[in-house]
Structure 1
Amino acid sequence: MNDISPIEHPEPGVWTQVADTSEVRAQPRTGEPFALAVKANIAVRGFRRSAGCRGLDLGPEEADAPVVAALREAGAVVVGVTNMHELAFGITSNNAAFGPVRHPADPTRAAGGSSGGSAVAVARGDVPVAVGTDTGGSVTIPASLCGVVGFRPTTGRWPGAGLVGLSWTRDTPGLFARAVEEIQRLDTAIAAGHDAGVPVSRPRLGIPAELVQELDPATAAAFTTTLDRWGDAVETVDLELGRALDLTRAAEMAIVLWESHRLLADVAARALGRPPQEAFERLVDSVASPDVRAVLEAELAHPVTAQEYARAQGEVARARTLYTNLLAEHGLDGLVFPGTPAPAPLLGEDETVEHLGGQVSTFGLYTRNTGQGTMLGAPMLTLPAPVPAGGLPVGITLQGPRFADRALLALGRALEEVLAP
């Protein structure tokens, strides 16, 4: 059954619960056990699914989420539950209830979020693989900031039950690892029978103009270095996402606020034994992180209307069609761009951050490049870029056609090898 009993709070910040790992191999190998960390909003038998919120930190789960069960079948032994941005509603993992998740290279900086603990556990070498979830970039962002490989599959391709989520339109589990090969193997275990993933000899990748503008100089330099290293191994095409990007941005908040209200109310109702709306209000009262509480209180005060939500649904459908047509029109195997426009922010910069000489929204800046792909439901694979010694990590994201996940992973593995020192 691959069960290990949890031990309480060994290191505030990265973990919420861990277990004795002495009998578990460090490296994932077919048929052999390997250590796995799981984000705190995913059900793991015997561990508490707090979602980083004391209001849900009530008792051990009776059963695994399907994605965890599939990974156990592949040999995973869950050795701990990782900290996160409270209720997954943010991108720094500066959690007021369980402590901030600190950057693995610079403890004065944030690890990114909301799956920050899972990314740091892999970056530090605590585990070879960790599970996160992604709504608006919660795998891509911490993978980029912490210098590990991150994979967000096509929305709906992996089972999403057993999660404390925010959006059925956008949510998906995802993985962090040290190399694409590890993710390829585990993707086969989770999504058996899906696309074959035939490698492309010389991929054709689009560079969206909107996602390479106003980059931090270190990020811009790392992106240029990556493209230079790839050289003739890829063909790049400059393009604009245009109307597809406009539609995703217009729909983002209405989709998440409508859907998160209902998903969180349902989870709270079952956890607290109260009617959904009353349970949701109690959950909001229990939130410790000021930025998360402000969002939820705003939703209570000014809920998204059914008309606004219906309009947003239509915008998502149109954007997905435009994205598919754009890739076909240019003959593209995918897109390539920096996962975030800047390296890791300082801890405490939850509301605003200095960028290119001015103060900008932290959430807006770090989700600028990821939001569109999560609304499109597209697969996204993030690779660590070459950076100077002592420099903060920068991630390069490959975004593929919907449900072409294995082809994207094969492409990423080939390009990862080109970047290897």
Structure 2
Amino acid sequence: MSISAPAIGLDTGIWTELADAAALARDSTHSPVAFPLAVKANIGVRGFARSAGCRLLDTGPEEADAPVVAAFRAAGAVVVGTTNMHELALGVTSDNASYGPVLLPLDGAFAAGGSSGGSAASVAAGAVPFALGTDTGGSVSIPASHCGVVGFRPSTGRWPTAGLVGLSWTRDTPGVFTRDVGDAIRADSWVTGSVAGVVRARPRLGVPRELVADLDPRTAHAFSSGLAGLAGIVELVEVSLAPILPRTRAAEPAIVGWESVRELGLAAARALGLAPDRALEALSRGVESTDVAAYLAAAIARPVSADQYAAAQSDTVAARGLADALFAAHDLDALVFPTTPAPAPRVDGRAEGEHLGRATSLFDLYTRNTGQGTVLGCPMVTVPLPVDQGALPIGLTLQGRRHDDARVLALAEVVSRRLAPASTPTS
């Protein structure tokens, strides 16, 4: 199919540069490692605006690259543009009122997911082999699943977060979208200098019962078929996250509620030349996406208290200890689960949808499985599951121990090879 720049959320002003960079990557007279890279609009790139999908922050080009961009440039990346996203990264659809919705390349009636939807769609459409995103509560994993590409969310702290317009220093991390896991492994080595991980002969994967309940029938079928396809190369162990989930779910809104207003206040202060408190209020009035405006207004009117934030920090520490104990008790290499309970939603501008016959918040639905891992700070690798021709993509996420990124990447490569029919994005 023919893909236009707006359809994948790539800054339309650089479409010619994208073609030039792709030609450069194929031209043996230039550096053989040169390749085009797209970057989410909340990551600093020299010469490009860092709007975070918000017109109010779109004040001019950045003077310097964020460290994560610099690492990719050192490996040969040619930055060809910034990608559209959910405004301020505060959503899961990338339905952006300022710059338009990011559409699923396979079927433009559906959302690419968010908040890093433009980056995932750029890879899915075949425009670039690598695209950078950011992840707070699933913003790499969710669009990777919807778009049928590989998404790698490193352990929080593994990749540098400087130069980002972020939401949470506890949960934020840059991440990457690629066409295969091998490229994600290479990307991790460029940023961290890590070597390839080792996978034992028969890895043990924990299947959390809470994350495989109440699935859309299409997701349930793809997940069960995918697990059946892994028979013989992994050992599956049913586990429960019961002692962990109450703590991570309690911590999620309080952590972001406290930290996001401070992160966004500083970003707005930098862009607008105001004190952070005044800049945050101006930002709240200036955002154009209804759901984002409502979130900021509520966060300012009913701020998270210091006691609530302290309780969330305590829950986070306790949950991380419990997760470590779960892995040790079951001798697990990773958890495995459907990335989202349902495939991509339709693009209709609504914050609610229907799931299993019930009205539900799209944000709550699509972060249900990913939120816990982001509070834990764990590495997550999302790979496509086999689906019928023309069906919406569905992702499988492997979640490892915190800071065990090399192992979970290596394991994801083994799994994705077994699921090879779904490993090539549709364009």
Confirm or deny a common fold (TM above 0.5): yes
The answer to whether the 8 A contact 2:18-2:81 is kept is no
Q: Quick one: structure 1 residues 275 and 79, their matched pair in 2 at CA, closer, same or farther if it must change by over 3 Å?
A: same
Unpaired runs of 5+ residues, structure 2, are 422-427
Q: Quick one: structure 1 residues 10 and 123, their matched pair in 2 at CA, closer, same or farther if it must change by over 3 Å?
A: closer
The answer to whether the 8 A contact 1:195-1:405 is kept is no
In the other structure, the counterpart of 2:376 is: 376
Q: Quick one: structure 1 residues 383 and 13, their matched pair in 2 at CA, closer, same or farther if it must change by over 3 Å?
A: closer
The answer to whether the 8 A contact 2:206-2:334 is kept is yes
Whole-angstrom distance in 1 between the partners of 2:84 and 2:221: 31
In the other structure, the counterpart of 1:412 is: 412
In the other structure, the counterpart of 1:109 is: 110
Are 1:394 and 2:394 an aligned pair? yes
- Residue 420 of structure 1, CA deviation: 1.2
2:18 to 18, 21, 43: 21
Whole-angstrom distance in 2 between the partners of 1:195 and 1:217: 39
In the other structure, the counterpart of 2:425 is: none
The answer to whether the 8 A contact 1:92-1:350 is kept is no
Output aligned runs, 1:216-235, within 5 Å: 216-235=216-235
Provide, for residues 9-62 of structure 1, a one-character-per-residue CA deviation record: whole Å limited to 9, x for no partner. Answer: 963761235251344247799951000000000000000000000110000000
Whole-angstrom distance in 2 between the partners of 1:246 and 1:21: 45
Whole-angstrom distance in 1 between the partners of 2:10 and 2:182: 26
1:277 match: secondary structure = helix
Q: Quick one: structure 1 residues 313 and 142, their matched pair in 2 at CA, closer, same or farther if it must change by over 3 Å?
A: same
Letter in 2 for 1:202: R
2:182 match: secondary structure = helix
Whole-angstrom distance in 2 between the partners of 1:282 and 1:22: 38
Whole-angstrom distance in 1 between the partners of 2:100 and 2:20: 29
In the other structure, the counterpart of 2:272 is: 272
Whole-angstrom distance in 2 between the partners of 1:176 and 1:12: 17
The answer to whether the 8 A contact 1:51-1:86 is kept is yes
Whole-angstrom distance in 2 between the partners of 1:350 and 1:135: 22
In the other structure, the counterpart of 1:99 is: 100
In the other structure, the counterpart of 2:91 is: 90
The answer to whether the 8 A contact 1:195-1:404 is kept is no
Kindly report the root-mean-square deviation, in angstroms, between the aligned alpha carbons of the 2 structures. 1.6
Provide, for residues 193-228 of structure 1, a one-character-per-residue CA deviation record: whole Å limited to 9, x for no partner. Answer: x46511222110000000000000000000011111
Deviates more, 1:98-107 or 1:56-65: 98-107
Matched length: 412
Q: Quick one: structure 1 residues 343 and 158, their matched pair in 2 at CA, closer, same or farther if it must change by over 3 Å?
A: same
Q: Quick one: structure 1 residues 155 and 259, their matched pair in 2 at CA, closer, same or farther if it must change by over 3 Å?
A: same
The answer to whether the 8 A contact 1:222-1:394 is kept is yes
Whole-angstrom distance in 1 between the partners of 2:14 and 2:328: 46
Whole-angstrom distance in 2 between the partners of 1:223 and 1:273: 49
- Residue 312 of structure 1, CA deviation: 0.5
1:21 match: secondary structure = helix
Letter in 2 for 1:198: V
Whole-angstrom distance in 2 between the partners of 1:304 and 1:22: 47
In the other structure, the counterpart of 2:424 is: none
Provide, for residues 254-311 of structure 1, a one-character-per-residue CA deviation record: whole Å limited to 9, x for no partner. Answer: 1001000000001111111111100110111110000000000001110111111011
Whole-angstrom distance in 1 between the partners of 2:256 and 2:201: 38
In the other structure, the counterpart of 2:79 is: 78
Unpaired runs of 5+ residues, structure 1, are 1-8
2:259 match: secondary structure = helix
In the other structure, the counterpart of 1:3 is: none
Whole-angstrom distance in 2 between the partners of 1:365 and 1:11: 27
Whole-angstrom distance in 1 between the partners of 2:306 and 2:196: 40
The answer to whether the 8 A contact 1:83-1:117 is kept is yes
Whole-angstrom distance in 1 between the partners of 2:5 and 2:253: 36
In the other structure, the counterpart of 1:289 is: 289
Letter in 2 for 1:117: G
In the other structure, the counterpart of 2:344 is: 344
Provide, for residues 180-199 of structure 1, a one-character-per-residue CA deviation record: whole Å limited to 9, x for no partner. Answer: 0111111101011x465112
Whole-angstrom distance in 1 between the partners of 2:35 and 2:383: 22
Deviates more, 1:404-413 or 1:61-70: 404-413
- Residue 390 of structure 1, CA deviation: 1.5
Q: TM-score, normalised by structure 1?
A: 0.95
Identical aligned residues as a percent? 58
In the other structure, the counterpart of 1:356 is: 356
Letter in 1 for 2:403: F
The answer to whether the 8 A contact 1:219-1:394 is kept is yes
In the other structure, the counterpart of 2:305 is: 305
- Residue 106 of structure 1, CA deviation: 1.2
The answer to whether the 8 A contact 1:12-1:99 is kept is no
Q: Quick one: structure 1 residues 96 and 12, their matched pair in 2 at CA, closer, same or farther if it must change by over 3 Å?
A: farther
